[in-house]
Chain A
Amino acid sequence: MEENFKVIDNYLMVRMPEEVDHHKSGFISKTADDYIMKDGVGNVVFDFEDTRFMDSSGIGIIIGRYKKISYFGGKVFAINADTRIKRTLMICGLHKVIEIME
């Protein structure tokens, strides 16, 4: 799982698993926070390329990281999200606080 986290310049890249649910969310949040603290990265990019399922636990992961880094002016990005993941993000209005990119 650790190989799904990579720091490039000032960005933490998080490759999200195939299924993002409560069972996986604790580990993702904790590991992401470790990187944010240890490497002092300013921005977080969530890559949904492999993700085929996400429930509200995924929203919790994103909002939690957003709260941590936006305090220091950092940004959160979501990339490679398919239409269903995008819909889930939009229902919560997340597109207003993070950047959803192709």
Chain B
Amino acid sequence: METERKFKKDMEDITDMQNELQMSFDAISENEAFARLAVAAFVMPLDPTMEEISDIKTAVSEAVTNAVIHGYDEEYMQERDRQGCSGEKREKVHMYCRIEGDMLYIEIRDMGKGIEDIPKAMEPLYTTKPELERSGMGFAFMEAFMDHLEVISEPGCGTVVRMEKRLQAAEEENDL
């Protein structure tokens, strides 16, 4: 009885959780693994299923890869340097995550090239870099693996990707 009450109490504490994670890292491919591992660790208190962890890691990996390859596109950065208007010395990707109850919010932001035609960029199989063997499935994966996806971008102003996912495991525990 006592342990049951304590268990319920613990669960209430967890579902009240409003943890936040904010990190900025260099826009290099090594950090794709770092970003998705950080998010995986961040959601652990919600006791997600293996599948949910895998979905979240994939979506984060896609968004960060987009920032590294497309946001800070090499040609664009060289052009920007030539014009002498580079703001940050090193290109950074900013990630912000928040847990609210059983909801996970993720925002991934770069200050790079931006997207001219967002609906086109989000089409499955569409890629501006076929020579790099990009499959054009990045946004499609984010959409498939998360509950909600929003892309805000303007050429020259960078890109913000917002994603949401409700974690079933946390939901089930609420029913206890």
A interface residues (Cβ-Cβ under 8 A, vs B):
19, 21-23, 25-26, 29, 53-57, 59-61, 63-64, 84, 88, 91-92
Contacts and interface: CB of A to CB of B under 8 A. Distances in A.
A19 B60 CA distance: 14
A55 B133 contact: no
B29 A22 contact: yes
Interface string B119-148: 000000000000011111110110010000
Q: Chain B contact residues: over half helix, strand or loop, or mixed? A: helix
Q: Chain A contact residues: over half helix, strand or loop, or mixed? A: helix
B29 A64 contact: no
Contact of A23 (B32, B132, B140): B32
**Residue with the greatest number of chain A CB neighbours at <10 A, chosen from B32, B132, B135:** B135
Interface residues of B, number: 25
Given A91-B141, A92-B135, A22 B30 contact: no
Contact of B137 (A21, A26, A29, A92): A92
B69 A22 contact: yes
Nearest to A67: B133
Interface of B: 29-30, 32-33, 36, 50-51, 54, 57-58, 61-62, 65, 68-69, 132-138, 140-141, 144
Nearest to A52: B54
B135 A56 contact: yes
A25 B68 contact: no
The 6 closest A-B pairs by CB, nearest first: A23-B29, A56-B137, A59-B135, A60-B133, A60-B135, A55-B61
Contacts of B51: 84
Given A23-B33, A60-B133, A55 B54 contact: no
A21 B30 CA distance: 10
A63 B134 CA distance: 9
A22 B68 CA distance: 10
25 contacts: A21-B29, A21-B33, A21-B61, A22-B65, A22-B69, A23-B29, A23-B30, A23-B33, A53-B57, A55-B61, A55-B62, A55-B141, A56-B62, A56-B65, A56-B134, A56-B140, A59-B135, A63-B133, A64-B133, A84-B50, A84-B51, A88-B58, A88-B141, A91-B137, A91-B140
B58 to A, nearest CB: 5
Contact of A21 (B65, B134, B136): B65
